[in-house]
Amino acid sequence: MSSLSYHFWRKRSYMKKTAFFIAAFLTLSWIAPGFIAGQEAAAKDPVLNFEHVWKTIDRNYGQFQVKHVDWDALYRVYRPMVTAATTDQELWDILLGMLGHLNDAHVCLADGKRRVGGSRNEGFINDAFSLDLVKSKYLQNKFSDALGGSFSSGWLAEGVGYLNIGDLKDGLGPITQAIDAVMAEFHKARVMIVDVRNNPGGTGRSVEIVAGRFADRRRHFETDRTRYGPKHDDFWPESFRHIEPGGPLQFTGPTVLLTDRVSASAAEGFTMAMRVLPHVTVVGDTTEGAFSSQFPERMPNGWTLWVAFKESRDHEGVCWDGVGIPPDLRVINTAADIAAGRDRMLEFARMYLEKGVPALQDEAKSLVDVKISLVDEYARLAKDNGAEAAIAMLNRELTAKSGTYYFAPEEALQQAVQLLGRRQYAETIGLLRACRANFPEIADTYSSLAQAYLGLGDVASAEASMKEGETIEPMFSWERPRIEQARLALRKARLGSAAELFGKALAEGGIPAAEKKLQELLAGRESNGPVFDEGDFNALGYRLLQENRIDAALFVFEKNTQLFPGSGNAWDSLGEALAKAGRKEQAIASYRKSLELDPNNRNGREMLKKLEQ
């Protein structure tokens, strides 16, 4: 694991070192407990946390306009309810009350034990669907399960295939394999029923993969805009989502898609994609109504606020967020139906396909905005013909503005991260330069561009990019850590890495040599010595752990917690090494310390539960 948070003791000059530490110790012995307690109290201040939530939503939420929400008016209603005496539970209830007006399942509060959203379906229990009933009563002979039951398929009758998609949370590779296996199973089917009832969602890209196995041609099904800027109507240019035939086999015969109130998120994106296909009829109930991507924002008190930051519309320009996609044909189950062993929705879908023989629907509007992503084209051309050809094409098409292509900054930044990860620095620079020229207001561009320059060893260009970005205000919570990461990388490029020198001493002279080197490095901190980066020490520890050098790894992880005692991540890593070394009680203590510092550390919580069993 890695983290960008870091803090450490600073030393004075060598002549003043001893006196300084004595004074510091005596001073901190008196003030540290009260100081830390004061910091914790300030972080838990109800007014501070209310303001943080309101301002974060005000700054990033993407659907104020489409939902006609007066966020300032809601502030005037809810802000007076919060005082310094407001309890945690009261603050929780007040915030959820305010957020509930957004009617958005992707706007949530979490405190490590619970996660509650603000949609109309919050707390709804779906007792009107049972996959076990489908398998036991309606599927013939046997059924197939893949991805731990996420994909279940079988025959309802001769020529009638059934696929239930329980979620779309697995990786793109496994999902691709699973859906292609289903397509092979049903290559002789006359009709198909695809069921996304009770599907809570998953990854967005999986939508195009699975729906592409039913596509007859390339079609536009969704248009997104990303909120970026201080005003509620500040958006990046539109990006367009399409489906097209994919995989070795496609099914384009009569198809029914079953949906219900709990079909949410990626399941709704899948519904949006499937409903533009002429041979698909949506049957069932209205979906949840949660389309936008979301990101987590850490609150001062340690809670997490999840923020929906996009506006999504279908191919006809309709936003279904907070409303849900209505079915073409409404049929619903009741809890009594399921208890009686009957799935009315499934029974109707089968009759509709076998007796109704539905005609093809007119989906001409899905052919209107069939555009090509310049970012995708850039990535393809860079892979096939190299960076120079890709950059020339990108600049040419951006100048031409033909309308055939679209250039989405979000796609460009995501692609840049992938290119950086593959150390394709020239390709990264070409893409980010275009992004900077067309969207100069994006803070992330400058730090990512600096990282790419550093990859080529061009420190001067990296510094120039960072300096240019200093005047740009970050809008997303993840941009500031990336900016700090780029600044840290620049410092290491100029001054070197303390962990690298520490690791070299450990490799050459063992723990005693490494201990001596660390003291030398600590003495040089104040005089612009090598940079102490928690992530570097953490990476060194894990490298040793993978080499099964347990004692050396433990030594490094222990030093990391001493250098960065306030990092939950450092204590989590130490806990993992201690557990691997068989030092159970110490591992438990380390994980507890990690959770004390970072209550949202899911890995630490799971590992602690296993160790305490």
**What are the structure tokens assigned to 300, written together?**
């001062």
Q: Which helix (H) or strand (E) holds 280?
A: strand 280-284
If pLDDT is split at 50, 70 and 90, which confidence band does 602 have?
confident
pLDDT in tens, 195-254: 999 999 999 899 999 999 999 999 999 999 999 999 999 999 999 999 999 999 999 999
If pLDDT is split at 50, 70 and 90, which confidence band does 143 have?
confident
Strands (E), 184-276: 191-195, 219-226, 239-243, 255-259
Range list of H helices, 287-422: 335-339, 344-351, 374-385, 387-400, 409-421
pLDDT in tens, 250-304: 999 999 999 999 999 999 999 999 999 999 999 999 999 999 999 999 999 999 9
Q: Are strands 151-157 and 108-110 parallel, antiparallel or unpaired?
A: unpaired
Is the alpha carbon torsion for 239, 241, 244, 248 positive or negative?
positive
pLDDT in tens, 488-513: 999 999 999 999 999 999 999 999 99
- Three-class SS state of 21: helix
* CA dist., res. 43 & res. 302, Å (int): 8
* CA dist., res. 488 & res. 180, Å (int): 45
* CA dist., res. 370 & res. 54, Å (int): 38
Q: Exposed, middle or buried, 365 (CB in 10 Å: 0-12/13-18/19+)? A: middle
If pLDDT is split at 50, 70 and 90, which confidence band does 377 have?
very high
Is residue 8 scored above 60 in pLDDT?
Answer: no
DSSP per position, 486-524: HHHHHHHHHH-BHHHHHHHHHHHHHHHHHHHHHHHHHHT
Instruction: Please give the pLDDT value at position 524.
Output: 78
Residue 379 or 32, more confident: 379
Lowest mean pLDDT among 38-47, 125-134, 601-610: 38-47
Which residues lie across from 110 on neighbouring strands?
115, 304
DSSP per position, 414-449: HHHHHHHHTT-HHHHHHHHHHHHHH-TT-HHHHHHH
Q: What is the CATH number of domain 131-367?
A: 3.90.226.10
- What percentage of the chain has pLDDT greater than the value 90? 84
Dihedral of CA atoms 592, 597, 603, 609 in degrees, nearest 10, equals 20
**What are the structure tokens assigned to 267, written together?**
């399941």
Instruction: Please give the pLDDT value at position 53.
Output: 98
Q: Are strands 219-226 and 239-243 parallel, antiparallel or unpaired?
A: antiparallel
Is residue 19 scored above 80 in pLDDT?
Answer: no
Is residue 4 scored above 70 in pLDDT?
Answer: no
Is residue 35 scored above 90 in pLDDT?
Answer: no
Nearest to 9 by CA among 564, 428, 458: 564
Q: Which helix (H) or strand (E) holds 544?
A: helix 534-546
* CA dist., res. 344 & res. 412, Å (int): 46
Interaxial angle between packed helices 409-421 and 374-385, expressed in degrees from 0 to 180 and rounded to the nearest 10? 30
* CA dist., res. 245 & res. 416, Å (int): 27
If pLDDT is split at 50, 70 and 90, which confidence band does 10 have?
very low
Residue written as tokens 């890495």?
497
**DSSP 8-state assignment for residue 81:** G
**DSSP 8-state assignment for residue 356:** I
Please tell me whether the overall predicted TM-score, pTM, comes out greater than 0.85 for this model: no
Is the alpha carbon torsion for 540, 542, 548, 554 positive or negative?
positive
Instruction: Please give the pLDDT value at position 122.
Output: 78
pLDDT in tens, 403-448: 899 999 999 999 999 999 999 999 999 999 999 999 999 999 999 9
Fold (CATH) for 372-489: 1.25.40
* CA dist., res. 43 & res. 51, Å (int): 12
Residue written as tokens 């929906």?
308
Instruction: Please give the pLDDT value at position 142.
Output: 83
pLDDT in tens, 557-567: 999 999 999 99
**Helix (DSSP H) and strand (DSSP E) numbers for the chain:** 24, 16
Is residue 38 scored above 80 in pLDDT?
Answer: no
Nearest to 422 by CA among 459, 396, 399, 452: 452
Nearest to 314 by CA among 416, 240, 406: 240
**Identical fold, 372-489 and 496-611:** yes
Strands (E), 131-262: 143-146, 151-157, 160-165, 191-195, 219-226, 239-243, 255-259
Instruction: Please give the pLDDT value at position 16.
Output: 30
Instruction: Please give the pLDDT value at position 598.
Output: 86
Instruction: Please give the pLDDT value at position 3.
Output: 32
- Three-class SS state of 251: coil
Instruction: Please give the pLDDT value at position 39.
Output: 59
- Three-class SS state of 239: strand
* CA dist., res. 67 & res. 75, Å (int): 17
Q: Which helix (H) or strand (E) holds 606?
A: helix 602-611
Is residue 613 scored above 90 in pLDDT?
Answer: no
* CA dist., res. 519 & res. 504, Å (int): 14
DSSP per position, 22-50: HHHHHHHHHHHHHHHHHHHHHHT-HHHHH
- Calculate mean pLDDT across residues 128-157: 93
Instruction: Please give the pLDDT value at position 455.
Output: 96
The residue ranges of every structural domain in the chain are 46-117, 131-367, 372-489, 496-611
**What are the structure tokens assigned to 590, written together?**
């380390």
* CA dist., res. 39 & res. 240, Å (int): 46
If pLDDT is split at 50, 70 and 90, which confidence band does 26 have?
very low
Average pLDDT, the chain: 90
- Three-class SS state of 376: helix
If pLDDT is split at 50, 70 and 90, which confidence band does 7 have?
very low
- Calculate mean pLDDT across residues 451-471: 96
- CA 481, 373, 309 angle in degrees (round to 5)? 40
If pLDDT is split at 50, 70 and 90, which confidence band does 112 have?
confident
| Class at the top of the CATH hierarchy for domain 496-611 | mainly alpha
